[in-house]
Amino acid sequence: MIYKGSCHCGNAFEVDGELTGAMACNCSICSRKGALMWFVPRDKLRVTSEIDVGTYTFNKHVIQHHFCRKCGMHPYGEGVDPKGNRMAAINIRCLEGIDLAAIPVQNFDGRSL
């Protein structure tokens, strides 16, 4: 299935995959953003309009936390999984037509890393 999403000012992206769950991380940045992340292979994310993307990294600098420089939203991030595969972390709060209450959320203790 293809999901459409955007930042607040309307810059759009698409994600191809099966949204069966999301992760809520309690690390210092995710807890402040309130993001619910869905991890997909990076090639399943397509940016469909021009987003002036800023990037923030911290701690071990392995995840690129992207944000729109115009509206400040955090629609997705990028990194690699433990096997070295390129991944995208999609903030499902930026997806259209998602019933957030119906998505199972797994808590992750990122604060302990």
pLDDT digits (tens, 9 = 90+) for 77-101: 999 998 999 999 999 999 999 999 9
| pTM as predicted | 0.91
Instruction: Encode pLDDT of 33-52 as tens digits.
Output: 999 999 999 999 999 887 78
> What residues contact residue 83 under an 8 Å CB cut-off, 6+ apart?
none
Strands 76-80 and 86-91: antiparallel
Assign domain 2-108 to its CATH architecture: Beta Complex (2.170)
Rg of the chain in Å (alpha carbons): 13
